[in-house]
Amino acid sequence: LPSSTMLLALPSSASLVTTTPAAIRPVLRPRAQLLATRTALGPADLVSEPTSTASGSAAFSWEANWYPVMPTSYADPVRPNGFTLLGKHLVLWKSADGWACVEDACPHRLAPLSTGRVTEEGTLMCRFHGWRFDDAGNCVEVPNA
């Protein structure tokens, strides 16, 4: 991996954080080692606790854990970067406040936002009807409305 920062995605909420490759190494270890080294990870929210099932055993939730997506040096900061994680289509882009990630579908007609563009203000614009979204996925402009 390059020595740049890495983007991590949380599929259940389409959240995104940046970290260094050194901080990711524990995430790539087996789950038992991961829980044992939790304090070495830094932010506690990088690791989710296992949930209990009806039988009392711990169940692993794939969507409640962080996954490395790509080094920031690989992501194009001037255009949307579409990718798939655990079967979910997501898009990341460089917003005014840093890297952002949302589901890769415009709520208007479900067009892929990854085919849109990043505006000068750092919002993500759908290429079909021009709807614009902020880094939290909120629609901030609907043209002709």
- DSSP 3-state assignment of 62? helix
- Judged against a pLDDT cut of 60, whether residue 143 lies above it is answered with yes
Give pLDDT tens digits for 70-98.
888 889 999 999 999 988 999 999 999 88
Which residue type does 144 have?
Answer: N
Give residue 63's pLDDT. Answer: 81
**93, burial (CB in 10 Å: exposed 0-12, middle 13-18, buried 19+):** buried
Q: Could you tell me which residues come within 8 angstroms of residue 13 by beta carbon, excluding any fewer than 6 positions away?
A: none
Q: Is 122 left (phi over 0), alpha (psi -120 to 50) or beta?
A: left
Task: Enter the pTM of the model.
Answer: 0.68
Q: Is 19's pLDDT higher than 90?
A: no
